[in-house]
Homo-oligomer: A and B are copies of this chain.
Amino acid sequence: GGGGGGRGGAEGGQGASPDEVVRLCELVLDYSVRTSSPLFFNQLYGRVDPVGLAAENVLSTLNTNAFTWEVAPVFTTLERALVQRLVRVFGLPEGSEGLFVPGGSMANMYGMHSARYAKVGAAVKSGGLMAAGGQLVGFCSADAHYSYAKGANFIGIGTENMLSVPVDHSPEGRGSMRVDALEEMILAAKAEGKIPFMVGATSGTTVYGGFDDAVALREVCDRHGMWLHLDGAWGGAAAFGGEGGAARELSRGMGLADSLSWNPHKMMGAPLQCSVFLTRRLKGGGGLREVNGCQAHYCFQEDKNFPEEDMGDMTLHCSRRADSFKLWLLWKAVGDAGMAHRVDEAVRLARRFTDLAMDKAALEELGVQGSFVVWRNQAPFYCNVCFYYVPPSLAWAEGGGAPFWELPKDDERARRISRVAPYVKDRMQRAGTCGMMGFCGKHNHFRLVIASPIGLSDQDMVRLILDIDAEGKGYQEPPPPPPPPP
């Protein structure tokens, strides 16, 4: 009798014993990557904040669905308050709204979806893209995250109608899309009879940590009646940087966007997933409820207590985790000062690593045998450090002509240096020293992202250099393939 699901012995279809379940958990833990190491470096996420983890455990225990107020009174109230606090941090206008959504890609798609609604009007919601009366086109930087492409696929614009704008990688350009090129492309699209509807800006590009110029893009968007969405999934954290610091400066103009994404599960160490979408209300009063809602009376009962508090019909989802609580609690714990320190410290450590990698004398003193070539010989824009490691056996390649980043894809030197990073990464993975660091680029270069500075020190930056050299200095090129049989 009683409830569903007995707990039988291990045999047959009867289920495992509690001891066996514990053993399975241990096995999973043993064979999984320790993301809690300060030296865990991965694509834009890092060591988790311990208070954020405590919040996650509270959420799991409550198993709350943030779709109605009656089942999630605390988290609904808290999410609304937190969103308003974020609206102020990013400098969005009073009355802006927001939602925590499952990931930065979804947040960017909310932005594209809102942009479409803003351009075409409510007819696009009922009648679909046919109501646009032409092909919508959007623009993002060539270095933008692929969620703009996936979003263009998903919302029915088509990937080839999300156009890539060339990027200025100079220190002054900060990895931003070239506004002159953007405006030319908009005019060309109009001349072809297409309908430019949005610019997808980026604050903190995935590889180089570049920042688009929101102030200039706002002007372009106003001139052409376009929506400005800002993908701040990674770089949104810059808005929390200390007054007058480099990070805060990068965040200039973020509040001019029509909508904005930010992932506290990146820089701030909130457990995965924790992503927020913020948006201005459209002219004429349209907000999240108008753009996304569809008034399902069976879920959002009109006659119950406080139906106006439900957030569910503001979303494109139904069930929704109360992810906002993780950011809320960790922010309480570290305060504004702690949030600022976290960002500024990540920027400082990225520059510290860069300075060391560019200091030949210091490396020699450390006994480093290979050499480090920092991408474009310049300081990182934000917390992403891109660099090549050149083992002693390839020392000739460093001096021999144009720098690596200028080499065409099929260049022989490029091909040869491209083999080094995968080799070193493989050895670091096997040795267990920060094995997750990525590589990428036209040719493989290392990409070290200080996504979470929690527990990281200057000494760790030295250690990283030494670990890379230790695993890489013995690199020998593979022998040439044997000649084909005659």
A residues whose Cβ falls under 8 Å from a Cβ of B: 1-8, 12-16, 18, 20-21, 24-25, 28-29, 31-33, 35-36, 38, 42-43, 45, 48-49, 51, 53-58, 60-65, 67-68, 70-75, 78, 102-106, 109, 113, 116, 124-131, 135-136, 145-147, 149-150, 152-161, 206-207, 263, 265, 269, 271-273, 275, 292, 294, 296-299, 301, 303-305, 316-321, 325, 329, 332-339, 341-343, 345-346, 418-419, 421-422, 425-426, 429, 435-436, 438-441, 444, 447, 452-458
Residues of B with C-beta under 8 A to A75: 28, 32
Q: Is the CB of B158 within 8 A of A130?
A: yes
Q: Is the CB of B60 within 8 A of A42?
A: no
A336 to B56, CA, bound (A): 30
With both beta carbons as reference points, the residue of chain B lying nearest to A22 in the complex is identified as B54
Among candidates B158, B207, B339, residue contacting A131 with C-beta atoms closer than 8 Å: B158
A421 to B338, CA, bound (A): 49
With both beta carbons as reference points, the residue of chain B lying nearest to A423 in the complex is identified as B303
Q: Is the CB of A71 within 8 A of B33?
A: yes
Among candidates B28, B35, B301, B455, residue contacting A2 with C-beta atoms closer than 8 Å: B455
Q: Is the CB of B102 within 8 A of A128?
A: no
Known: A60-B56, A321-B272. A14 touches B337 (CB 8 A): yes
Known: A32-B62, A53-B61. A127 touches B334 (CB 8 A): no
Residues of B with C-beta under 8 A to A438: 298, 301
Among candidates B33, B128, B318, residue contacting A72 with C-beta atoms closer than 8 Å: B33
Q: A15-B335, A103-B320 are in contact. List 8 more A-B contacts (CB 8 A).
A: A3-B457, A5-B339, A7-B338, A29-B62, A125-B153, A129-B130, A159-B294, A273-B321
Residues of B with C-beta under 8 A to A421: 303
Q: Which 3 A-B pairs have CB atoms at the shortest separation, nearest pair first?
A: A128-B158, A156-B156, A15-B335
Residues of B with C-beta under 8 A to A58: 25, 28-29
20 A–B pairs (Cβ distance < 8 Å), ordered by A: A1-B458, A3-B454, A4-B338, A4-B456, A5-B338, A5-B339, A5-B341, A7-B338, A13-B337, A14-B335, A24-B329, A33-B72, A71-B436, A105-B316, A109-B316, A128-B152, A145-B318, A154-B316, A303-B422, A305-B429
Q: Is the CB of B129 within 8 A of A333?
A: no
Q: Is the CB of B4 within 8 A of A319?
A: no
Residues of B with C-beta under 8 A to A5: 49, 269, 334, 338-339, 341-342, 454
